[in-house]
Amino acid sequence: MTACKRKGKNIVDKFFELFSNLKKSAKIMQLQKIQQINELTNKMNVDEFCSVFSTDLFNEIEQMIKRMKLPKENAVVLLKNMGYYKTINRLDGDEFVCLPLVRSFDLMVFNENDKIEDKNEKLLVDLCECYMFINKRYPTGMLLVCVPCLLKAALNKEENEEAQKEVEMALLALRNVYLWDDLKKEIYLNEIKEIVQYHQEHHNLTHLAYQSAWEFLINRLFFDRKLEEVIVNELHLIQESTRELDKLMEYVDWKEKRKGKGGEEDKVIISWLAVLDIYFSSCKIRNDEYVKLFNSISRIFQTANTNHLEICNRCIILFRSVAKSRAVEVDELLKSKVIDVMLEEIARLDALNFLIERYLSFFKELIDRLKSKMECMEEAKRKETVRKVVGKMEEEGYEDCIIGLSQCMIVGEFDDFYLIDNLDDYFVFC
pLDDT of residue 9: 58
pLDDT of residue 365: 87
Mean pLDDT (the chain) is 86
pLDDT of residue 98: 73
Tell me what percent of the residues of the chain surpass a pLDDT of 90. 57
Q: Is the pLDDT of residue 272 over 50?
A: yes
pLDDT digits (tens, 9 = 90+) for 309-360: 899 999 999 999 999 998 998 889 888 999 889 888 887 776 567 777 788 8
pLDDT of residue 236: 97
pLDDT of residue 416: 44
Span 154-177, mean pLDDT? 94
pLDDT of residue 413: 45
User: In which band, very low, low, confident or very high, does the pLDDT at 19 lie, cut at 50, 70 and 90?
Assistant: very high
| CB-CB contact of 149 with 191 (8 Å) | no
pLDDT of residue 260: 53
**HSE of 99, CA atoms in CB hemisphere, 13 A:** 25
* Predicted TM-score (pTM) of this structure: 0.89
Q: Can you spell out the DSSP letters for 285-349?
A: ---TTHHHHHHHHHHHHHHHTTT-HHHHHHHHHHHHHHHH-TTS-HHHHHHSSHHHHHHHHHTT-
| CB-CB contact of 199 with 186 (8 Å) | no
Q: Can you spell out the DSSP letters for 40-85?
A: HHTT--HHHHHHHSSHHHHHHHHHHHHTTSS-HHHHHHHHHHHHHH
pLDDT digits (tens, 9 = 90+) for 371-410: 777 777 677 777 777 677 677 677 667 777 777 776 655 4
